[in-house]
Amino acid sequence: MQQWIQRWQRLSKRQQLIASLIGGLLVVAAVDALLLRPLRQRLTRLHHEVHAAEQRLVEAVVAGSQAKAVTQAFSAYEPYVRPAGSSEAELAGILSEVESAVRQSGLVLLGLKPATPQGGAANTVSVTIEGESTPEQLIQLLDAIQRSTRLLKVTDLAVRVAEGKTLRSSLVISKLLLAP
C-alpha cells in the first residue's frame, strides 16, 4: 500500500488530476451499471405496465357504460333464441301460431296437419296448410309467418288459381329445433 502512495506522490499534479478523473469516471460507470441502469429499466417496465393497466381500465369503463345498452339490444332478440322443448310441444305451438295467423289473414282453411320434414330432418317440425284466399290474404299470412318469434319458415309453397281472384294454396311451414 505504501508503494502506491509513493507512486502517487511521484506523479505530477496534472497526472494525479487525470488519474483521479479516470478513477472517478470508472466509479460513476460502475455505480451506473450496477445500481442505476437496473432501476431505470425497472421504472420503464413499470411505466409500460401502468399504461397497459390504464388502457384496460378505460376499456372496462367504456364496456361498463355500454352494458345497459347491450343488454337492451340483446333482450329484443331473446324471444328468438329460446331452446326448443319436446317436438310435440313445439308442434302444438306452431299449430296454434299458424291457426292464429290464418284467422288474422282471412284465409279459408281447408286443411291443417303435421307434416314429415323434407329430407327426414330430425331437428325440425313441420305443418301443412291448405286453403283458399285472395293474393292479399296470402301475402298477409306469409308476412305473419315471417315475423313469428318462433323462427318459422315456409319450406314449400304451391299456389294455383281456383275461381276468379281466388288462390288455392298449399304451404309447408317448418321450425328448426334449437338444442337446449
If you write DSSP's letter for every residue of 89-128 in order, what string do you get? HHHHHHHHHHHHHHHHHT-EEEEEEEEPPGGG-TTEEEEE
Lowest mean pLDDT among 48-57, 93-102, 116-125, 157-166: 116-125
How many angstroms separate the most distant Cα atoms in the chain? 132
Residue 60 has pLDDT above 60, yes or no: yes
At residue 129, the pLDDT reads 92
Q: Which alpha helices (DSSP H) does the chain contain, by range? A: 2-10, 13-31, 37-77, 87-105, 135-146
Between 136 and 163, the higher pLDDT residue: 136
Residue 136 has pLDDT above 60, yes or no: yes
Q: Which of 24-38, 39-53, 59-73, 159-173 has the highest mean pLDDT?
A: 39-53
Q: Are 146 and 111 in contact (CB under 8 A)?
A: no
Q: Are 107 and 131 in contact (CB under 8 A)?
A: yes
At residue 119, the pLDDT reads 55
* 13-26: average pLDDT: 88
